[in-house]
Structure 1
């Protein structure tokens, strides 16, 4: 009870409340504009969050992250164009409903499903994070090394169609993370005599370049008038509540899958959405109607992807291990304010943890209420031309990368990685492993060295400690399962 009161005291701050509202508002807006992604906007806002109070800075980014999944349903349903990458399955049944003149009903179902999924996700964070933090107290250097390795392997295997490319990008990220001054041996690593590289390659400009400025290049390269005219038809902005009550099992199953998938590094919204939609169709009495405007398909899609938004923070808070690139940005905010995620954070900063929980509940409530009443105006955002948005993002990207340390080199690094990100996007190569390599690589190397020092160079330390052995076994099993599935696919293709 005391921690709840402390959390309320943290949230009862004008700056925190404004950060929650502003982050959610920006997120919903970004999700409503086709072509924009929350990662890019979060990257631009990252330097700003460093100058804010810890809870306000975190909630500014989390608000963008969570709000975008709400807003992404608007263009997905009305235009058949996903506002965010995870809204792809929303188009399957949302757009056919809009074509039948049920656009308002489809949006109501999407908003209500997102709200329920988001609230369940925050509840899971409240229940699971402290428990896993207590488990993390038993972790030593060997366990953290294996956890970082497991996270990197999961991130690679999550890109099933691009695993070789993901491995290369992860390796590139590991290389970037190793640049700088190695304090263990007091030696320079891959600095090539450049003093500005002694501090390493900064994460923020890389993130801004890969996710924000590269997207700006994509938008600027589009030709012609890409603005859209959308129509909002139908009745009933509150009909979604009734529809969810009719599909209670679909809601519960999708929320559960979203929470579980959020705990697995690299899986996230895409995995939860795919499995939720597939199971909803399998257990439906009318599976043939999926993809033709079945509300259950829309519920499965929106509930599952929003059920990930808070549960994905569990590994970050409990172990200090980010599950994806967006959580890596949050980790940067934590570290700037000297808040080290892990068991000690729950013991030393209970007011911050409680304030974070309350803020997440508030963010979901605000997104739901705002969209329920403001959709008729939000629809106009889908008419903005992509080139205008691209130019605006490019300017903000330069400002954001420069303003962190006021160094021109940071802006040039962002520009370089904007080019890298543009090439990766054009060739459908994942960029997320680069960021995870930069973040998890140093964690793995540092913990691995510590383990070797403790065991005097004996590698069996990783199999003699139970938790470390379990994590290593899961890692090896995941690789074996992937290889065996690829072998079966090749055999079946050869036989065909």
Structure 2
């Protein structure tokens, strides 16, 4: 009870509450604009949060992270264009409802399912706090190293069909983390006698280049298109009553979101596909999925909104980010000398509980805001792409320059922006580079610390948690190798429809949706997905 009261005292400040309000409303607006997304917004805001208190800066970023998927459902349902990449599945059942003049019903279902998923995951997070507080201190240097290594492996294996590319990009990110002064003897590595490389390549500069600048270049090369939103009928409150008639679908979807959110490198896409497939298999009307099924819409939205709170578990307990957005938040911790990991639950438990309560309040604020402002948010979908691109470009360079007042950083960000643009055009993942930079630095520091007590190789895994993590790593590598050999030796005898569905799943699960404004492609992908399970 004392910790709970202390957490309320941390939150009961005008600047924290203002940050929560701005982050939640801003995240909804960002999500409602196709082609921008939370990664771009968080990357632009990162330099500004460094001058704030840790709880204020993290509250802003959490607000954007947790609320953007709410807003992303609006264009996905009304104009068949996902506002964020993780809202792609929402188009399958949301847009057919709009074509039947049931757009408000679809929006209401999306809001209610998102709210349920968000609240469910926060409750799970609070319930797991006592367990985390007991388990986290058991993680020493070797356990955190193995957990980070497991995260790297999961990031690579999650990109099915692109594992070699993901491995190469992750290795590139790990290489970038080694540039500059090494952390023990402070000798220069890979600087080539260039003084501007002595301090290393800044993570925030790379983030702004790969996410913000690359997206700005992509928006600037897109053609502006006039978007007409159809008239929607119905009440925005009826979805909450309809959600109560599908408790099993919502609970299973939210559970998938919680479990997948806790696993580094997996995230929203896997949770969505598992929940959507399970809901379709358990439904009494599976033929309605993809044609305006309320169960399908609930399954996709409840799953992706349950992930943000669950993704905070490995970040807070071990200091290991599960995906790009939590990797960006990790930098805010480090700037303010707040080190996430086992010690955080022992020394600053009130800070951790305050973040949980902020996530809880966030979901309530977002739903109330959406119920009164959906009509205004719909207009954001009509902002021209090139205007958006110029705004993102300008804000990105301002953010990069404000970090260290360095023109060199702007040049580095521009190079990574062009590199990220090329990756997006080639439909290759960007997230492995960022996670490679973050996890590579963690692995190096923890490996150096662990080797001081290791005499023989067996000493590295002579403790229960270390041995368990080692076994999990071996099993994942063995199963991945076995599947790869099996697929290489066995000819693919699947039907053309199933092959198309498999290609589509790999493309979406690759973490990048290239063309947000190409609605015809999304319709074609939806039709190919209909064949799966038929």
- TM-score normalised by structure 1 residue count: 0.97
Partner Cα separation in structure 2 for residue 250 and residue 192 of structure 1: 57
Is there any run of 5+ residues in structure 1 with no aligned partner, and where?
Answer: none
Number of the residue aligned with 1:311: 310
Whole-angstrom distance in 2 between the partners of 1:494 and 1:41: 42
* 1:105 matched to 2:97: no
**Quick one: distance in 2 between partners of 1:380 and 1:494?**
46
Q: How far is the alpha carbon of 1:195 from its aligned partner?
A: 1.7
Q: Is the 8 A contact 2:139 2:342 kept in 1?
A: no
Whole-angstrom CA distance in 2 between matches of 1:263 and 1:449: 26
Alpha-carbon distance between aligned partners in 1 of 2:226 and 2:325, rounded to the nearest angstrom: 28
Structure-1 residue corresponding to 2:250: 251
Contact 1:75 1:81 in 2 (8 A): yes
- Aligned twin of 1:275: 274
Which residue number in structure 2 is paired with residue 490 of structure 1? 488
1:190 aligns with 2:185: no
TM-fit CA distance, 1:133: 3.7
1:299 aligned residue? 298
Distance 1:154 1:262, change over 3 A: same
Match of 1:235 in 2: 234
Name the CA distance, whole Å, in 2 between partners of 1:431 and 1:132: 31
Give the CA deviation at 1:466: 2.1
2:17 aligned residue: 17
Q: Is the 8 A contact 2:35 2:219 kept in 1?
A: yes
What is the CA–CA distance in structure 1 between the aligned matches of 2:100 and 2:116, rounded to whole Å?
26
* Structure 1 stretch displaced more, 227-236 or 298-307: 227-236
Say whether residues 1:466 and 2:479 are aligned partners.
no
Which one is further off, 124-133 or 304-313?
Answer: 124-133
Residue aligning to 1:418: 417
Range moving further from structure 2, 127-136 or 2-11: 127-136
Q: Distance in 1 between matches of 2:493 and 2:77?
A: 41
Provide, for residues 279-310 of structure 1, a one-character-per-residue CA deviation record: whole Å limited to 9, x for no partner.
00000001011000000000000000001110
The equivalent residue for 2:66 is 66
Residue 477 of structure 1 is aligned with which of 475, 486, 495? 475
Q: What corresponds to 1:436 in structure 2?
A: 435
Residue matched to 1:77: 77
What is the CA distance between 1:366 and its match in structure 2? 0.7
Looking at structure 2, the residues matched to 142 and 50 of structure 1 have their Cα atoms a distance apart, in angstroms, of 30
Count of residues in Structure 1 that have an aligned counterpart in Structure 2: 494
Q: 1:347 to 1:329 in 2, by over 3 A?
A: same
The 2-side partners of 1:37 and 1:156 are apart by 23
SS, match of residue 155 in structure 1: helix
Q: CA deviation at 1:130?
A: 4.1
Separation in 2, partners of 1:88, 1:421: 21
The answer on whether the counterparts of 1:50 and 1:333 sit within 8 Å (CA) in structure 2 is yes
| Distance (whole Å) between structure 2 residues aligned to residue 472 and residue 133 of structure 1 | 22
In structure 2, the residue matched to 1:447 is 446
Q: Partners in 2 of 1:495 and 1:76 — Cα distance?
A: 34
Q: Does 1:89 align with 2:107?
A: no
> Does the 8 Å contact 1:133/1:342 carry over to 2?
no
1:102–1:235 Cα contact (<8 Å) kept: yes
1:359 aligned partner: 358
Under a length normalisation based on structure 2, what TM-score does the superposition of the two structures give? 0.91
Contact 2:401 2:409 in 1 (8 A): yes
Q: Deviation string for 1:129-175 (max 9, x for gaps)?
A: 44224212112221111111001001111111211000000010010
Say if 2:31 is the partner of 1:34.
no
- Mapped to 1, the partners of 2:208 and 2:131 lie a distance apart of 34
1:180 corresponds to: 180
| Distance (whole Å) between structure 1 residues aligned to residue 268 and residue 493 of structure 2 | 34
CA contact under 8 A between 2:133 and 2:346: conserved in structure 1? no
**Does structure 1 retain, via aligned residues, the 8 Å contact 2:108–2:239?**
yes
1:157 corresponding residue in structure 2 = 157
Which residue of structure 1 aligns with residue 142 of structure 2? Answer: 142
Question: For residues 232 and 495 of structure 1, what CA distance do their matches in structure 2 show?
Answer: 45
Return the offset for 1:5: 1.3
